[in-house]
């Protein structure tokens, strides 16, 4: 599947803030696959078909990413607003309860969502996700202002788009084997001008990570961790004991892979099988 075909397979949901593009594929127990920054649902393209064989799989592009709208403003991309839109999408689809899978900054949107609606998730699968400050080592941090806006301008105008994507995946994969077609799915949204959500994340979230510790401690659902253990952005070893304790994770549900950050690109079949086994 190329990126054009991926977009053709997406549907649109209109929120109060703008349209969300999403994949809705398969039947059965529901799995939601949530991306982070600066990716989109395209990150999960190698997993959707296999998971859809026995499940209904929902894969949104969050507002400001992928094929979704990118309205003006910055606070519209806060963790609270992202969480509201996830819940609105699932409510519109008539889905009250699901297995929730998230990656990267999708973790923060998930924690905020769970603060608001803890009963919505039956099982939680953590893929190299933002959890605690001690495990967070972002490749980029910006102060709000001209420098950050110039960086976003260069990403969307093609000046540094390719360089940024290449550098990101060189750092985030053990071996960067992405094809030009793979890269298209990450470059096109940026060249369409979708950098406002990135600006919010890199100038606000990165500099003051929200504290969701009480949310984590209050959860009472099965949790699995699937983590690329060579990730230099999100570090499992520095936070593992705290995460295991707060989320009450069984050792048998912790899976450390020979991978870096973008594990959906490196180990899609293995991840899909672990998720399926965990659900069943």
Residue 24 host element (H or E): strand 19-25
pLDDT of residue 140: 84
For 33-59, the pLDDT digits (tens) are 999 999 999 999 999 999 999 999 999
3-state secondary structure of 260: coil
Task: Give the span between the Cα atoms of 173 and 178, in whole angstroms.
Answer: 9
Task: Give the span between the Cα atoms of 199 and 203, in whole angstroms.
Answer: 6
pLDDT of residue 231: 98
pLDDT of residue 41: 98
For the chain, what percent of residues have pLDDT higher than 70?
A: 100
Closest C-alpha among 259, 210, 1, 258 to residue 112: 210
Task: Give the span between the Cα atoms of 93 and 168, in whole angstroms.
Answer: 34
139 has pLDDT over 90: no
0.95 surpassed by pTM: yes
Q: ∠104-10-183 over CA atoms, to 5°?
A: 55
- CATH of region 3-279: 3.40.50.1820
259 has pLDDT over 90: yes
């Amino acid at each position: 599947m190329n990126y054009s075909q991926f977009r053709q397979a997406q549907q649109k949901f209109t929120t109060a803030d703008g349209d969300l593009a999403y994949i809705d594929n398969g039947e059965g127990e529901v799995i939601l696959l949530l991306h982070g920054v600066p990716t989109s649902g395209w990150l999960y393209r190698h997993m959707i078909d296999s998971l859809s064989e026995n499940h209904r799989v929902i894969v949104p592009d969050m507002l400001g990413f992928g094929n979704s709208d990118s309205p003006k403003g910055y606070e519209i991309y806060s963790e609270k607003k992202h969480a509201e839109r996830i819940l609105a999408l699932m409510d519109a689809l008539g889905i009250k309860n699901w297995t929730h899978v998230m990656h990267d900054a999708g973790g923060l949107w998930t924690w905020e969502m769970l603060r608001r609606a803890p009963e919505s998730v039956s099982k939680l699968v953590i893929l190299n996700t933002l959890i605690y400050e001690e495990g967070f080592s972002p490749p980029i941090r910006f102060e709000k202002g001209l420098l950050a806006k110039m960086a976003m301008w260069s990403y969307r105008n093609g000046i540094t788009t390719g360089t940024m994507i290449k550098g990101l995946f060189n750092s985030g994969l053990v071996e960067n084997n992405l094809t030009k077609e793979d890269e298209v799915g990450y470059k096109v949204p940026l060249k369409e001008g979708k950098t406002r959500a990135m600006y919010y994340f890199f100038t606000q979230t990165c500099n003051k990570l929200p504290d969701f510790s009480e949310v984590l401690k209050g959860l009472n659902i099965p949790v699995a961790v699937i983590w690329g253990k060579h990730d230099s952005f999100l570090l499992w070893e520095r936070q593992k004991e705290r995460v295991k304790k707060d989320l009450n994770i069984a050792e048998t549900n912790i899976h450390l892979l020979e991978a870096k950050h973008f594990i959906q690109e490196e180990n899609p079949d293995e991840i899909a099988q672990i998720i399926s086994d965990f659900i069943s």
